[in-house]
Amino acid sequence: MKSIIYFFITLTILLCNGGRTRAQNNVGDNQVIQMLKEFYIAYNAAWSTAKGEIPIKKLRSLQRKYCTNKLINGIKEEDFDHDPLLGEDYEYVEHLKTVTVIKDRNKENTYIVSYIDNTTQGGNPIDIKVVLHVTVVKEGGSFKIASVKET
């Protein structure tokens, strides 16, 4: 009889802790999603308002705030011709209205960032959905972007 009571007590404790862990993960996920939205909107805005010039100082400032040092060190100025953090073109402010971020349920610490790229093909305007898989880690007490892969 005692073993059954201990079993139920142990089971109850495990279930309660598991629920708390899921709640903590949801809070962390929400913080990461908010951080990614802030970054992509600010980063895209820097490009959108650049008027043809590469806003290197502004981009580097945003990278320092939102990206890991390892990722920043891997991005050279010549990479800005096709910015690896954005994937596609980055000169239209309309992108800012379409940014969405969701948790990738298949990969740990990975989020799916997407936005609509308004471009032309054969002289006709088309919308292309840009999808980025962004890995986030905790560095120095805050969440930082560790890698970005376009799909």
Domain boundaries, the chain: 35-150
Give the pLDDT confidence score for residue 19 in this predicted structure.
45
Q: What are phi and psi of 41, to 5 degrees?
A: -70, -45
Could you list the mean pLDDT of each consecutive 10-residue stretch along the chain, which spans 151 residues? Answer: 49 47 58 94 82 82 94 80 68 73 95 86 87 93 93 83
The yes/no answer on whether domain 35-150 falls in CATH 3.10.450.50 is yes
* Distance, CA of 46 to CA of 49 (rounded, Å): 6
Residues contacting 84, CB < 8 A, separation 6+: 75, 148
pTM of the predicted structure, to 2 decimals = 0.75
